[in-house]
A and B are shown apart, each in its own frame.
Chain A
Amino acid sequence: MGDLEVHKHVQYIISVEKKKESFEALVMEHLRMNGAYWGLTTLDLLQNITAVDQEEVISWVMSCWDQDSGGFTGTVGHDPHVHYTLSAVQILALFDRLDILDKDKVSSYIARLQNEDGSFSGDIWGEIDTRFSYCAICCLSILHCLDKINVEKAVNYIVSCKNLDGGFGCTAGGESHAGQIFCCVGALSIAGALHHVDRDLLGWWLCERQCKDGGLNGRPEKLADVCYSWWVLSSLVMIDRVHWIDKTKLAMYILSCQDRENGGISDRPDNAVDVFHTYFGVAGLSLMEYPGLKSIDPAFALPVDVVNRIFFKKP
């Protein structure tokens, strides 16, 4: 099986950043902010964040700030959205540069997206999804601005999306899905409201996501995919049920999805790699205490040292 190809993955992430003009890169351009967060967090977990020019990254991130609304865009010239705003704030947190933000404007942007029922819209156009509840709660917590929203209502909305199998969906009635479960469990964790989760019921549903090949799927009777190494695993960690799966087998599965020639990790063995799956693979290994990796926080999706710095550093 072999080890994690740390050096190759670092090279891969840096190379993706340089290939801006290819068709594949263009298709992903609108969410470059998310891509930057995935890539940079992976580099930090691999203890290689110095491989990028920090000032260059920060000035690009700030060039995506939409001063009128207070939110961040996916790339220069596009519209702001809560998801891109979270990624931008996470990137600044990685570099310990939250000080350059106009926290008041950014947090007001997010607070304005909360609806009467406690839910969050992704942007001014009003799409509602528990993913956006997570983005908002996580981002405001990093900025120490959770008091700008009605946390109780936000929690109640998430709870209204809880299903009879213990999982959570996009909106009330939506089928449980591991990605959505991460968002809801993560938001409830940050809001100190995990008591709304039936940890044994959800834990069993989540641990049954492990397939015979060792990988995790996102819903019953689906194929394994490396991205669920993050969505499922982080949720299991937050509810203290990660010992219900076989971590060795999962680690082997993730390692088998590496492109050993050119770096990067794919969804399944021998598929095309991308930054998204490279991040989720490395983050999953970090949650399983793979040697040589920094630990990642399961709720904030940032390295533990970064999160501890946000909450426990002398102001």
Chain B
Amino acid sequence: MHGRPRQPPQAEDAASASKASNLRELQSKLLHNHHQRIYSQEAIDASSKLLDINPEILTAWNYRKLAFQHNLQEASDPPHFKSLVNDELRVVEMALRRNPKSYGAWYHRKWVLSQGLLEVDFDREFYLLDQLLKVDARNFHGWSYRRFVAKMKDVSEVEELKFTMDMIDSNFSNYSAWHNRSALLSHLLSKKAHGFDEREKILAEEYDLVRQALFTDPSDQSGWFYHLWLLDQTVTPDEVLLISSWPFDGSNWCITVDEDKVHCKVSQLPCSSYYFLNSGKLPIVLYFNQPVKGVHSSSVIVNSVFVKNEDLIWRPVTPTKSEQAACWVVYIGIPDFQKIDTKVYAVEINIGHSKDIISSNGSVFSHPLQFRFNLSFNSISLEHAEVESIDELFVWNDSGSSVAEHCGFFPFNRVNASEDHTLKSSKWNLETISYEIDLFKELEENCKFVKLTLARLFLAQDAMMSYKTCSLIHSRDVLRLFDDLIRLDPMHAGYYEDERSIVVVNQVTSDEQSLMSQNSHSSNYFSSKLPLNGCIQLTNLSLTRIGSVDRLLWVQVLDLSHNKLHSLAGIEALQLLTCLNLRNNQINSLTALEPLKLLSFLRVLDLSFNKIGAHPVDTTRYLCHSPLSHSIFGAKKCIEDYLEANINVTDHWEAILLFRELRLKQLEVKGNVVADENFRDLFAKVASHADLA
């Protein structure tokens, strides 16, 4: 019931009582005729009367379809067909006058015409549509019916595109028309239809068109969404590029394996600190500029004496069931140390000689490249104490000051893979973005859409300038715009803060200098027995989420404490991560930790002083693997086992499904609502190998 004013309750008057009894009688008649299969003219007329009062009764439309089929069998000649069809079309028109959004009525019309009994009178159909869209140009049933009729008549997409133009011309504020236009145009462009093969020319015309709308009424949303789509068409990279990797090109590593080969350390030469990989496996991580599929042992060839390339299984690093990811990993088993001499062994990675690496929009990784790193093996086995140090309590320095252990190594000489191949954004794309920037700079100061679009344009321009240099010319301008937006449009402050966070991380990680300003030298960052490599601290930055993970693939110890982190999406790319500090953030639920399940080296996790358990509504409930999302994998048996053991699975399934997969040695949860005695008991049962602080 929409748009009807509230009336004080009143006694049924005679008029409405008689209306009700009339309706009751028509409904009973319908059901009687339907059940008895009575399809006489009188019975059909009664159903028309009923649908005139209430076009929503599906059973009445079903009855008419049955009656139509029945009477069609009896009909002998075309004029009779015609009158049967016309009766149905008339009832639909009558119903649509009552309710132009009646699903049942619209479908009945489609059904009747789809029977293919008569040649469809398209003039009549288009006239009906014109009348309807005149009354309500946003009626999505009407637009959907128009697509149906156009398809039936085989109207060309170009002609339909013209129709959207007419509708937009008569009123810029018609989102339905803009929507249809974007869908049609996108299809015409992708199949390079006649007249649509010059993509840049077409897009330029669309920019002109939408500008008129935006300048006419900058507060109307319709044009802005179209503009966002155009911007996306202009900046989305066509090419698939590898933007970072670990290990990076030209690096030298020394592997020391202890006697029972449970642990190995991997140090970068000539630096003395090392990566401590307790699984005995060395990851190779690739990060592309967009999600891709098709990374496997034929599209990425790893040449080394240790493993047969064919045996390697590349995995997409994503917490979802997707077969696409920007980040891919393969693990190489550290070979039997006894049989290895002190030579230096090269590992060479060749990418893209087959055309299998493909992005979601169908772009192929087509610039084959190669990179290599060297491995040598230390003949002295690890000192026992050193090896065991991961089992000792790991203490984060939480003085609040900005401190970090810097191991003399920041991989800003990243592989870069795409070194010789900076993104060749065409001149047109860059010019278009620059032109738009100049234009919107002049437009009204206090319109939120103008500011947001400017921020997006700046970011797009920075991204297009270069992938390699990470140069951020505009990050200050963008941060200022987001600050303005938070003030101007506080209802959507959460959105602007999230966007802002990405820019902040981007800025902080953009070069060694800015990262170092976050991380000053200090020796007391954590317990000194663990000279782990790759430690960084991104604290007190008001981050609500993280980004730029492609620049952090080398990080093993990450301090994100004292932010406003709500989501960890993306962190799964940090495959080397061993210790993670999330103290004093805004993590709301255990399911938000899903990405951590993909970090096989993660041993130390500090979750203290978050909001876990404080909110009954879990916003990541469907972003994790669970029986609720039909993506339980091997967990079904596990759930049954816990039920058998009389563990309260209903209240604790999130904790069970998380901690059975994390291989933590140390967890801190104090300062969270969830951290009660029950949780401790449960944790002890599910993750018996770990310490809970």
- Which A residues have a C-beta under 8 Å from some C-beta of B? 21-24, 26-27, 29-31, 73-74, 77-79, 81, 123, 125-127, 129, 141, 146, 151, 163-165, 169-171, 173-177, 189-195, 203-205, 207-208, 210, 214, 219-222, 225, 237-246, 249, 259, 261-262, 266-268, 270-274, 276-277, 286-289, 295, 297-299, 304, 307-309, 311-314
Contacts and interface: CB of A to CB of B under 8 A. Distances in A.
B320 interface: yes
Contact of A164 (B182, B493, B622): B182
A171 B151 CA distance: 14
B495 A222 contact: no
B24 interface: yes
Contacts of A165: 179, 182, 225, 228-229
18 contacts: A23-B20, A26-B24, A27-B54, A30-B58, A79-B62, A125-B61, A127-B107, A146-B630, A171-B144, A174-B143, A175-B180, A190-B628, A192-B631, A219-B140, A243-B566, A246-B492, A270-B5, A311-B626
Contacts of A295: 616-617
Interface string B166-190: 0000000101100110110010000
Given A246-B490, A295-B616, A299-B628, A220 B622 contact: no
Given A23-B16, A125-B65, A164-B182, A175 B143 contact: yes
Contacts of B384: none
B620 A189 contact: no
A244 B452 CA distance: 15
A199 to B, nearest CB: 9
A271 B20 contact: no
Nearest to B32: A77
A147 to B, nearest CB: 9
B138 A219 contact: yes
Given A163-B183, A272-B1, A277-B1, 19 more contacts: A21-B24, A27-B23, A146-B630, A164-B179, A165-B179, A173-B180, A175-B175, A214-B491, A220-B225, A240-B567, A241-B495, A243-B494, A244-B494, A245-B494, A270-B6, A272-B4, A295-B617, A308-B651, A311-B626
Contact of A222 (B31, B111, B138): B138
B139 to A, nearest CB: 10
B131 to A, nearest CB: 20
Contacts of B220: 221
A14 to B, nearest CB: 15
Contact of B19 (A23, A304, A308): A23
B672 interface: no
A174 B140 contact: yes
Interface in B1-25: 1-9, 12, 16, 19-20, 23-24
B367 interface: no
Contacts of B643: 312, 314
A267 B1 CA distance: 8
A29 B628 contact: no
Contacts of B83: none
Contact of A203 (B222, B495, B649): B495
B619 A237 contact: yes
A174 to B, nearest CB: 5
In the A-B complex, list the 6 residue pairs whose CB atoms are closest, starting with the nearest.
A192-B631, A195-B320, A189-B622, A243-B494, A192-B629, A246-B491
Contacts of B57: 30, 78
A271 B27 contact: no
A141 B617 CA distance: 21
Nearest to A218: B140
Interface string B482-509: 0000000011111100100000000000
B466 interface: no
Contacts of A274: 1
Please classify how large the interface on chain B is, using the bins under 10, 10 to 19, 20 to 34, 35 or more: 35 or more
Nearest to A264: B6
B454 to A, nearest CB: 16
B225 A237 contact: no
B222 A221 contact: yes
A175 B650 contact: no
A259 to B, nearest CB: 6
B296 interface: no
B245 interface: no
B173 A221 contact: yes
A123 B143 CA distance: 23
Contacts of B617: 237, 242, 286-289, 295, 298
Given A78-B59, A194-B320, A222-B138, A175 B176 contact: yes
B638 to A, nearest CB: 12
A170 to B, nearest CB: 6
A269 B25 CA distance: 35
A189 B629 contact: yes
A222 B140 CA distance: 13
B653 interface: yes
B355 interface: no
A191 B629 contact: yes
B498 A244 contact: yes
A191 B492 contact: no
B263 to A, nearest CB: 35
Nearest to A219: B175
Contacts of A259: 6
A220 to B, nearest CB: 4
Most chain A C-beta atoms within 10 Å of own C-beta, residue among B65, B147, B621, B626: B621
B408 interface: no
Nearest to B5: A271
Contacts of B511: none
Contacts of A242: 617, 619
B623 A194 contact: yes
B622 A194 contact: yes
A23 to B, nearest CB: 4
Nearest to B494: A243
Given A272-B4, A312-B627, A192 B140 contact: no
Interface in B117-151: 138, 140, 143-144, 147
Contacts of A77: 31, 35
A259 B103 CA distance: 29
A163 B180 CA distance: 10
B491 A210 contact: yes
Contacts of A239: 623
Most chain B C-beta atoms within 10 Å of own C-beta, residue among A203, A246, A307: A246
B206 interface: no
A288 B617 CA distance: 8
A259 B1 CA distance: 15
A174 B491 contact: no
Nearest to A146: B630
B407 interface: no
Contacts of B144: 169-171, 173-175
Contacts of A244: 492, 494-495, 498
Contacts of B65: 125
B58 A74 contact: yes
Given A238-B622, A272-B6, A195 B20 contact: no
B322 A207 contact: no
A225 B222 contact: no
B20 A304 contact: no
A142 B71 CA distance: 41
Given A175-B180, A191-B629, A304-B616, A240 B623 contact: yes
A220 B138 CA distance: 10
Given A27-B54, A272-B1, A220 B175 contact: yes
Contacts of B603: none
Contact of B20 (A22, A164, A169): A22
B650 A313 contact: yes
A300 B75 CA distance: 48
A311 B656 CA distance: 14
B650 A312 contact: yes
B343 interface: no
Given A177-B140, A192-B625, A276 B1 contact: yes
